Structure formats: C-alpha cells, structure tokens
Homo-oligomer: A and B are copies of this chain.
C-alpha cells in the first residue's frame, strides 16, 4: 500500500441508497480513508457501459461519514470520476458492491458491480467486486460482511496479480451453515431468454427481458458449483479477452 492508511474507493451498481453499499461501507470503514461514489439510481445490467452521449453529474451525499457522491452515470463512470476527478490519484483499493444478487458464471459480463472492478484492474488498481446471492433489497448481509472483511484484509496484505480483479460471491445462507471460501473458475452458463410482451395504454407493444439461468458446465470447480454447496467463491477475473487457444486455429484459415 502506498500509505499507512490506505485510500479505499467504494462504488456499486444498485445505487447509493441500497443496503448492499451500506453493508460494504460498514464492513471496511475502519480499514482506511474511504471515498464513495455510487449511481443515484439502479444500474444493474449496465455491464461496462460508459456515458459519452450525455453529460455526467455528481451530487454530494450526506448518507455516509466520508467523502461521498451520487452520480448520474454507470458504475464504470463512477470509477473514472473517482480516480480522475474526485481523488485525482489512484486509490489503493477499489471495492464494488455488495451486490444484491449473484454475479457468477457469464453474468460477470452484464454486471455493473463487476465491471467497476474490471475497470479498476484496467487502471492497475487492486479491485474487488462483492455479490450476495440474494436479490432481496432487505437481504441479510451478516455473512457477506464477514467474508468481505476477511478478503479485504488479505488483499491489503498480499499483492494482487497483474491485470486481474477478484469476483467474490457469497451464498445466501446463515453463518452457521457457511463452509468457507473457494478459489475457482467462472461457470460456463447462459441465459435462456424470453421476452414478456405487453401492450401499453396506446395499444403499442413493449417488451420486458426475462429468462432462465442455465448452467451447462459439467466441471466441479466453478463458482456456481461451490456456491450451491455453501461456499463463498473467488474467481480471479481478467480484462484480456483474447482467446489465445484459438489463435493457431484461425492462422490455419489462411485469411
């Protein structure tokens, strides 16, 4: 860490008023100086979106006992505004969450929570996304807070691998049923999507995205597998999307 008292940046995608970001703040407020910027409304499913066609605004928030702002943008916007406009330097740690709902498997790509952490990794800042496997806005974060504390303590001691952030998911179970923490890979799952087709007050059609989560991964070392068994999971997550294993095959196409 660059200082005795680390500078910790907090964001999320459920918005500044959510129980999850309050739980994250409570979990780590003793660990360093905190700066918090979070979306002013729910930004779930925003992935790595950035705001370039509309201006961004920051409003000072009195919800936390630290420098904190509500932002009109996405979680990735919050990270960029935090680093380049509010802190004017890289924090020692970026924490995102605690998300209301799992961010396992391929959901990491849709997740604003995890995209904030991925953005942190791209900026060379140790970054962690936390998610509780419950979508309940009043979920019980007791176990999640304990896991968050132990992971953050460890990351403040260890050196994060280069180009990597951590995707931490915590099962929605009571502390007494908790089995421990597993390091594992992202499950190969997908959404079998459907659209709920409705008519508005002018008889015009509109759609709501819905669907079923399908885990097609047969292996036993995935986040979905271990969460189901009562473990919290940590997937080291990278921003290099190059499919190195496919390079040779494509070379043989002789394009």
Q: Which residues of B contact A50 (CB under 8 A)?
A: 45, 47, 110, 209
Asked whether B49 lies within 8 Å of A45 as measured between CB atoms, the reply is yes
Distance between A16 CB and nearest chain B CB, rounded to angstroms? 16
A243 touches B236 (CB 8 A): yes
Interface size class of A (residues with CB under 8 A): 35 or more
- A95 part of interface (Cβ distance < 8 Å): no
Q: Which residue of B lies closest to A119 (CB)?
A: B109
A12 contacts B by Cβ under 8 Å: no
A32 an interface residue at 8 Å Cβ cutoff? no
Question: Quick check: B52 and A255 within 8 Å, CB to CB?
Answer: no
B residues in contact with A190, CB < 8 Å = 122-124
Q: Are A240 and B188 within 8 A (Cβ)? A: yes
Segment of A3-11, A158-166, A169-177 engaged in the interface with chain B:
A158-166
Please give, as numbers and ranges, the residues of chain B lying within 8 Å of A197 by CB-CB distance: 85
Q: A80-B193, A242-B237, A250-B236 are in contact. Are A255 and B154 (CB under 8 A)?
A: yes
In the bound complex, do residue B57 and residue A207 qualify as a contact, i.e. CB atoms below 8 Å apart? Answer: yes
Please report the C-alpha to C-alpha distance between residue A46 and residue B253 in the assembled complex, in whole angstroms.
32
A223 CB to nearest B CB, Å: 9
**Does A98 lie at the interface of the complex (its beta carbon under 8 Å from any beta carbon of B)?**
no
A255 touches B44 (CB 8 A): no
Q: Which residues of A208-255 are within 8 A (CB) of B?
A: 208-209, 211, 234-247, 249-251, 253, 255
What are the interface flags for A141-180 relative to B under an 8 Å C-beta threshold, 1 for contact and 0 otherwise? 0000000001100100010010110100000000000000
B-chain residues with CB within 8 Å of residue A200 when the two chains form the complex: 55
* Docked-complex contact A238 and B241, CB < 8 angstroms: yes
Q: Which residues in A have some Cβ–Cβ distance to B below 8 Å?
A: 42, 44-53, 55-58, 74, 76-77, 80-81, 83-85, 106, 108-110, 115, 118, 122-124, 150-151, 154, 158, 161, 163-164, 166, 181, 183-186, 188, 190, 193-195, 197-198, 200, 204-209, 211, 234-247, 249-251, 253, 255
In the A-B complex, list the 7 residue pairs whose CB atoms are closest, starting with the nearest.
A47-B48, A236-B246, A55-B206, A238-B243, A236-B243, A161-B246, A49-B49
